[in-house]
Structure 1
Amino acid sequence: MKKIVVTGATGQLGSELKVLSENYSQFEWFFADRTQVSLDNLAVLKVQLESIQPDVILSCGAYTAVDKAETEPELADIINHQSVKIIAQYAKDNKVKLIHISTDYVFDGSSSVALKEDAITNPINMYGATKIAGELAVMAVNPEAVIIRTSWVYSRFGNNFVKTMQRLLKERDTLGVVNDQIGSPTYAADLAQAMMDILNNGKWIPGIYNYSNEGEISWYEFVLAIQEIGGYTCEVTGIPSSSYPTPAKRPAFSLLDKSKIKAIYGVVVPGYKESLRKCMGL
């Protein structure tokens, strides 16, 4: 029986993979928290992997506090880049399949068309810089790996945009939401399914792939969808990013083109509203 280790097991994607794992009993699953696979402790990481002896690594753990990364660049780099290099090297040395999760924040937001996997990367914040460093490290030491770039991840678990907006839409009479950042959200349960579809495909074609739900929307339009599905009465208005300054700059446009993952692995990509409804249980 092949053993799958999931790093970042308590995060949104790791939690959704745990739910999904019940459908894949042909595998032995090991959901590793921060103490079992310590992405912030490079001295012990290889030894921890050796003790688990996985056949597959689903690399979901990351430093994802985008604004905090601006003041903790060293820690973000250790978790998003240096630890990922060790994992990729371990996978290469031990013929372990590796799927690593990356982000749309590797782009600068200057595109006006959906970004393909070979689009030029140019991160505009520290989080994006550490994630592209991780990608480059994976490809350098282990060209047999699969990297999936995703965007605007939310789920039933942890803290995320959808949950925050549901709370604010209940609590407030009015809400201003940024309307000049364009992309597409990703329901973590769908991304988890895409990872398993790749794993069970029967063919293994390494490289970088994009995955997010279908649709081209702003955060403002995303909140309007949450409002519509949830039946909230709060008045929502669109505001420019300049009215809501954050420590880390966000790309203005980071819509991902999903044609490669569909063509090569036959992955089905649901529309964002359909997945949002599922997540909200409506």
Structure 2
Amino acid sequence: MARMLKEMVGLVTGGASGLGRATVDRLVRNGVKTVMFDLPSSGGAEESAKIHKENCVFCPGDVTSPEDVQKALDICQEKWGKLNVLVNCAGIGIAKKTFSSARNQVHSLDDFDQVLNVNVCGTFNVIRLAARIMANGEMGPDFERGVIINTASVAAFEGQIGQAAYSASKGAIVGMTLPIARDLSSCGIRVMTIAPGLFETPLLGKLPAKVKEELGKQSPFPNRLGNPDEYAHLVQTIIENQMLNGEVIRLDAAIRMQP
């Protein structure tokens, strides 16, 4: 039976732009009171005001900081009294070869560590703190207390040249989906991961239209880049369908990345 989103409370990391911004917008439109969590430099205050002045609150912070994340979770509890939904969209990426023969240069260990710290440790940091609040919340009529949705990438399965750090981080998110779902099952909390393909996000938005069109043609069907709201739509579906748990869903128009 589909769950009603109205009256739920959510937290979306990386919520000020791209997939996160689309998710916040869709959740709020469907009645979910939402905290948009993103870096202070993200412009989140302006973006949250555009969505809804009362039901969307921006909280600046870093996913790798327990104090920042707790501050966002406190807003959920103090303003609306609970937390039902967590969507992790915050993440970074770099493009560097493990070893570049042309430059005689090895991959920086600091760069590798930073990507894993933000994408993996940051995601887990938010999950562990949010899970405590969800687990102590009231159980719904369907015996559920919360839903956690993480963001991986098709790079977790088909990483391209220069994506060692990014693919490792997204592969880790894929790998921890099932064990965390099992960890939290007794608390009535579901855990899912979405692995998007090529989407029209700010990162790709800076590219010329012709380049974006060519990228979109790599997808068998539909022959285009994904719309961020299509990601958000899947988030909504996962929340509504209780049988979705402990799994990774590719949202990629059947693309298989070339080297």
TM over 0.5, shorter chain: yes
Among candidates 103, 116, 127, match of residue 169 of structure 2 = 127
Change in Cα spacing, 1:6 to 1:109, as seen in structure 2 (3 Å) is closer
Structure 1 length normalisation: TM-score?
A: 0.54
1:158 alignment partner in structure 2: 202
1:190 aligns with 2:241: no
Q: What one-letter code is carried by the residue in structure 1 that aligns with 2:202?
A: G
Among candidates 14, 23, 33, match of residue 8 of structure 1 = 14
Change in Cα spacing, 1:27 to 1:103, as seen in structure 2 (3 Å) is closer
Among candidates 114, 117, 128, match of residue 85 of structure 1 = 128
Change in Cα spacing, 1:106 to 1:82, as seen in structure 2 (3 Å) is farther
Among candidates 187, 193, 197, match of residue 148 of structure 1 = 193
Count of paired positions? 199
5+ residue gaps, structure 2, are 1-6, 41-58, 97-110, 139-144, 160-164
C-alpha deviation, 1:158, in angstroms: 1.8
1:98 aligns with 2:157: no
Change in Cα spacing, 1:43 to 1:130, as seen in structure 2 (3 Å) is farther
C-alpha deviation, 1:52, in angstroms: 1.6
Change in Cα spacing, 1:47 to 1:125, as seen in structure 2 (3 Å) is same
Paired residue secondary structure (1:159): helix
Equivalent positions of 1:160-239 (< 5 A) are 160=204, 164-166=207-209, 168=211, 186-201=226-241, 203=242, 205-213=244-252, 215-217=253-255
5+ residue gaps, structure 1, are 111-122, 220-239, 242-282
Q: CA RMSD in A?
A: 4.0
